[in-house]
């Protein structure tokens, strides 16, 4: 059996899927981006009057993604410390990897989750980073 998890404390998915799905002692998060919960605002994105993206701050976006991941994990009875695997999607590996990794390390260095980081051509909204996370649920030693 599995259970779909949704929370108002994370931005709504951009498609017909839940924030996460709990299967046994594992939690599988859908792709999580940096949008602010309850809004369409994307932190760290700077646009002109025509709504064209001029620039972005990858570290602000990574911080926001991690906050959204934390909120989804909490709603499902888990925590950041219980993350076992992270898949990271960046739109510009060459430009953003070092700053992304610096910010990521602040949260995940002690957790030691496995990680894969890949570059993608685009993400579904004008974001530049997205995480796909697997975590354990409940208290584990």
Determine the pLDDT at residue 125. Answer: 87
Determine the pLDDT at residue 105. Answer: 97
pLDDT in tens, 43-100: 999 999 998 889 999 999 999 999 999 999 999 999 999 999 999 999 999 999 999 9
Determine the pLDDT at residue 1. Answer: 79
CATH of the domain at 39: 3.30.1330.40
Integer Cα distance of 67 and 80 in angstroms: 10
> Considering the entire predicted model, what is its pTM?
0.94
Determine the pLDDT at residue 39. Answer: 86
Residue 135: count of CB within 10 angstroms of its CB: 27
Q: What residues does 134 pair with on adjacent strands?
A: 28, 85
pLDDT in tens, 26-44: 999 999 999 999 888 999 9
In a domain, 78, yes or no: yes
In a domain, 84, yes or no: yes
In a domain, 82, yes or no: yes
pLDDT: is 78 or 141 the higher one? Answer: 78
In a domain, 16, yes or no: yes
- 27, 135 in Cβ contact below 8 A? yes
In a domain, 12, yes or no: yes
In a domain, 22, yes or no: yes
Token reading at 106: 């602040």
Nearest to 132 by CA among 26, 37, 20: 20
In a domain, 141, yes or no: no
- 119, 92 in Cβ contact below 8 A? yes
Determine the pLDDT at residue 141. Answer: 47
pLDDT in tens, 113-126: 999 999 999 998 88
User: Where in the sequence is the domain holding 15, given as residue range(s)?
Assistant: 2-136
Determine the pLDDT at residue 139. Answer: 66
Total domains in the chain come to 1
Determine the pLDDT at residue 16. Answer: 92
Strands 20-23 and 26-29, bridge-based pairing:
antiparallel
Contacts of 103 (CB under 8 A, 6+ apart): 58, 59, 62, 63, 66
In a domain, 124, yes or no: yes
- 129, 100 in Cβ contact below 8 A? yes
Integer Cα distance of 102 and 115 in angstroms: 14
């Amino acid at each position: 059996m599995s259970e779909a998890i949704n929370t108002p404390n994370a931005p709504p998915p951009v498609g017909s899927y839940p924030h996460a799905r709990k299967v046994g002692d594992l939690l599988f998060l859908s792709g999580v981006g940096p949008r602010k919960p309850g809004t369409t605002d994307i932190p760290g994105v700077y646009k002109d009057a025509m709504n064209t993206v001029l620039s972005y701050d990858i570290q602000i976006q990574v911080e926001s993604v991690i906050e959204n991941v934390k909120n989804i994990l909490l709603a499902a009875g888990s925590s950041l410390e219980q993350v076992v695997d992270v898949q990271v999607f960046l739109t510009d590996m060459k430009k953003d990897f070092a700053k992304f990794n610096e910010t990521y390390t602040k949260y995940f260095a002690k957790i030691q989750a496995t990680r894969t980081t890949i570059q993608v051509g685009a993400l579904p909204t004008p974001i530049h980073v997205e995480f796909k996370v697997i975590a354990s649920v409940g208290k584990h030693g």
